[in-house]
Amino acid sequence: ELKVEQNPLFLSMQEGKNYTIYCNYSTTSDRLYWYRQDPGKSLESLFVLLSNGAVKQEGRLMASLDTKARLSTLHITAAVHDLSATYFCAVDGREYGNKLVFGAGTILRVKS
């Protein structure tokens, strides 16, 4: 079964703290995506990771990919309130029928 699992599903953190969101997937994928979604809005693309060991950073967010472990992480450094949103990981590829399969999402709340 094609599954993408994220944890935690809910994360409440203080400004200035660091934390990591984990994304496990069940079957070999071609690409791993991270999206951000604000309430009532569409998906904003954050990162696309293609190969084992890939690491991408944008501002306070850094994503990495371990294809052997079928694991991606989204690391948040020195969180700020503006990062509050829901974060989704997703995978696609031939094993997934050329469609995106999403995790359930991680709701991030950064408290001032």
Partner 1 sequence: ETGVTQSPTHLIKTRGQQVTLRCSSQSGHNTVSWYQQALGQGPQFIFQYYREEENGRGNFPPRFSGLQFPNYSSELNVNALELDDSALYLCASSPLGRGTYTFGSGTRLTVV
Is residue 41 within the footprint of partner 1 (CB under 8 A)? yes
Is residue 1 within the footprint of partner 1 (CB under 8 A)? no
Beta strand ranges found along the chain (DSSP E): 4-7, 10-14, 19-25, 31-37, 43-49, 55-58, 61-66, 71-76, 85-92, 101-102, 106-111
- Beta-carbon-side half-sphere exposure of residue 65 (alpha carbons within 13 Å): 22
Binding residue (CB under 8 A) for partner 1 from 45, 69, 82, 112: 45
Is residue 54 within the footprint of partner 1 (CB under 8 A)? no
One-letter amino acid of 44: E
Is residue 112 within the footprint of partner 1 (CB under 8 A)? no
Residues touching partner 1, count (CB under 8 A): 22
Site residues for partner 1 per CB under 8 A: 4, 30-31, 33, 40-43, 45, 48, 88, 90, 92, 97-105
